[in-house]
Structure 1
Amino acid sequence: MSSTIIRIMTYQVDHCRGRDGKVDPDRISQVIACARPDIVALQGIDAEAPFDHLIRLEQRLGLKAYSPGRRDCNAYLSSLRLAGLREYDLGQQGVCLRADADVHGKRLHLFNIRLQPTLAGRIRQIHALLGSELLGDDALVCPVIVLGDFGDFFWNLGNLELNMRLRPVARPLWRATYPACFPVIGRDRAYLRGQVKVTDSFIERSPLAREASSHLPLILTTEIHEPARTLRVKEIKRTGMEVAAG
């Protein structure tokens, strides 16, 4: 079994508006640059003219941007090739942006989500996320990472369902990411499924990060494994037999 290590960040940038009320995508780009991620899952980014902050981040960081191209959306910045980009409405302003990353020949399913803080709304949004169109899809045979802003202030039954269906990533001892100026709530986190594990995680707590957005970013060092069955598929392909992509 072979493995590949990449660094992934999830960051709710809140329209690039800082604690001082100033909208400044350059501050966000500096926070991201300090962590040197391979992939960034953004929430609350404006990606539509004349307020296209995403293109500004793309230019400053040298990472390719992927988004639905509108205001207040989820998006990705990545040094790796992403494909299959699709946005899903989870109901009541909850959203999921799915993409498949090509990680040096290995496929990784990414689900970048933003849930809303209302209790009943979150439960319905989590049911939609776990439904047959998304995480319940039998075609998802490659490793999965679900990450983003889970919108919760208190533990509830929706979190229990997530923990039963996915593996929560162990976060730093002090897990809070919100509000950035004095974080007490761990709204930003990640879950795993399949042959993938997180070997290290940290929350960027620099003075700049505390000023740049209402959330602090979470950074994960991720190890993606290639199971034996995938290796066998490659061998079959070399013989000329066609195999459907997983």
Structure 2
Amino acid sequence: MTAIRIMTYSVGECRGADGRVEPERIVTVVKETTPDVLAVQDLATTTLPDQLDYLARRLGMRAYSAPQAPGCAWLAYAPLKGVQGYDLGQGGCLLRADLDIDGKRLHLLNLRLTAERSARQRQIATLVGPDLLGDRSLTCATLLLGDFADTFWGAGNLALNLHLKKAVRSFWRGTYPAFLPLIDRDRAYYRGHLQILDSRIPRNAAARQACRHLPLIVTVEVTDPRTFLRTEKLKRSRMEVAPG
């Protein structure tokens, strides 16, 4: 089976520790870690040049976004399918995509929540509701990652832990603020036939200077025994329907 390296990165409109907006510093951090798929949050959506387009061109990756999830995007070398944005209300959003790995399906969910406690709880309630994580069509391995915007453990985290497993359980997992990462705002959760092979947080000087968050990288492997064939791979049946 093929292992996939996936990064989540809340880039803060590409504004570095010195206050300057320099997307190239984000490019440098990503290139050093070489992810196969990148989940980005908090991209600038009203400035030119377009930050998503810039990152895609400099990294040589395909970009995926949706108007319902402003500031969030997927960047990937392999094609993603079923890309759809969801507005969670009060600044929260989610961008879904599906990745096929050697015939195995992986549901990818790129999340951005807001820091205000009551709004965050409502956003998580929507997230675990019947239209998203509770949707019965999400039958394959699922990986949820992004900026969870929390400082302290709260009731919303309990709801997440009831539905998903935390992908990173190491003691030192802080990603925020980058210069002194004490808070694990940037996290990954999973469910289904998925194995977490590795996780790490780059803490070098480049990552600390690029923006206010450090990225989180998880290496995963889909262990689902089922195979999902593309339509064009299905052989046509030789059986014919008898008239009448």
Give the TM-score taking structure 1 as reference length: 0.90
**Which among 77, 81, 84 is matched to residue 82 of structure 2?**
84
* SS of aligned partner of 1:73: coil
Partner of 2:241: none
In the alignment, is residue 39 of structure 1 matched against residue 26 of structure 2?
A: no
**2:104 corresponds to which letter in structure 1?**
K
* SS of aligned partner of 1:127: helix
**Which among 207, 221, 230 is matched to residue 209 of structure 1?**
207
Q: Aligned residues: percent identity?
A: 48
How many Å separate the matches in 2 of 1:154 and 1:192? 21
How many Å separate the matches in 1 of 2:182 and 2:47? 34
| Offset at residue 173 of structure 1 (A) | 2.7
Q: 1:180 to 1:240 in 2, by over 3 A?
A: farther
**Which among 106, 122, 125 is matched to residue 124 of structure 1?**
122
Q: Per residue, is there more strand in 1 or in 2?
A: 1
**Which among 130, 148, 156 is matched to residue 158 of structure 1?**
156
Gaps of 5+ in 1: 242-246
How many Å separate the matches in 2 of 1:58 and 1:5? 22
**1:90 corresponds to which letter in structure 2?**
L
Gaps of 5+ in 2: 239-244
Q: Give the 5 Å matches for 1:159-238.
A: 159-227=157-225, 229-230=226-227, 238=235
* SS of aligned partner of 1:33: helix
Q: 1:176 to 1:230 in 2, by over 3 A?
A: same
Aligned residues: 237
Contact 1:198 / 1:220 at 8 angstroms: preserved in 2? yes
Partner of 1:24: 22
| Offset at residue 51 of structure 1 (A) | 3.5
* SS of aligned partner of 2:159: helix
How many Å separate the matches in 2 of 1:226 and 1:169? 17
Contact 1:48 / 1:70 at 8 angstroms: preserved in 2? no
**2:202 corresponds to which letter in structure 1?**
E
| Offset at residue 194 of structure 1 (A) | 0.7
How many Å separate the matches in 2 of 1:152 and 1:100? 27
How many Å separate the matches in 1 of 2:65 and 2:229? 34
Q: 1:231 to 1:46 in 2, by over 3 A?
A: closer
Contact 1:47 / 1:73 at 8 angstroms: preserved in 2? yes
In the alignment, is residue 60 of structure 1 matched against residue 58 of structure 2?
A: yes
* SS of aligned partner of 1:76: strand
